[in-house]
A and B are shown apart, each in its own frame.
Chain A
């Protein structure tokens, strides 16, 4: 079991460019979550999918951010027109949705917007 896979591990974009982050959940897990981590704001929930359907996007910024889960093996987080304040570590997690509902996190993608 390779765990949650996130690519790329590091991404540098210029202000105004688009960034797409990829997440491959643990095989068989029904839920995929996206979080953002910064020194100032800490760990913040963005959105999550269950059985590929969007369930809760209450943490997603209203503009420029979107997430998709086109199939059970990957999810993407897209940020359009990136701004310096988008610089953060973006974490993907997956859960089997059973037992303690534990979320297993990937290593994160560090996004730097210049």
Chain B
């Protein structure tokens, strides 16, 4: 079983709509989370990190972390066609001393004009 699970696998929203992506960790040692976005032919690019319980907002993007349930979500408001990409949740195990990231399988977001 993957340690970081994402849902849904794919998501289509109309331009201007809200996109909601979910991520759950099965390892309680994973305490630090990132959301990355990858456009076709490019490497992943970090959107935001979240390390504390609650919400973190950066422009149109809001991340929410619930450490008790090991659930993190990303909400994109006023979605634009340029937001169409593969979105990854990534986590790291602070207790291990390693900085490696464990990635989920990704959510393919399509924003329809």
Contacts and interface: CB of A to CB of B under 8 A. Distances in A.
Contacts of B42: 107-108
Interface in A47-100: 48, 50, 55-56, 58-59, 91, 93, 95, 97, 100
Nearest to A3: B43
Contacts, number: 61
Counting contact residues on chain A (CB < 8 A from B), the size range is 20 to 34
Contact of A43 (B32, B46, B51, B103): B103
A103 B103 CA distance: 13
Contacts of B44: 43, 91, 105
A48 B92 CA distance: 14
Interface in B90-112: 90, 92, 98-106
Interface of B: 32, 34, 36, 41-46, 49, 51, 88, 90, 92, 98-106
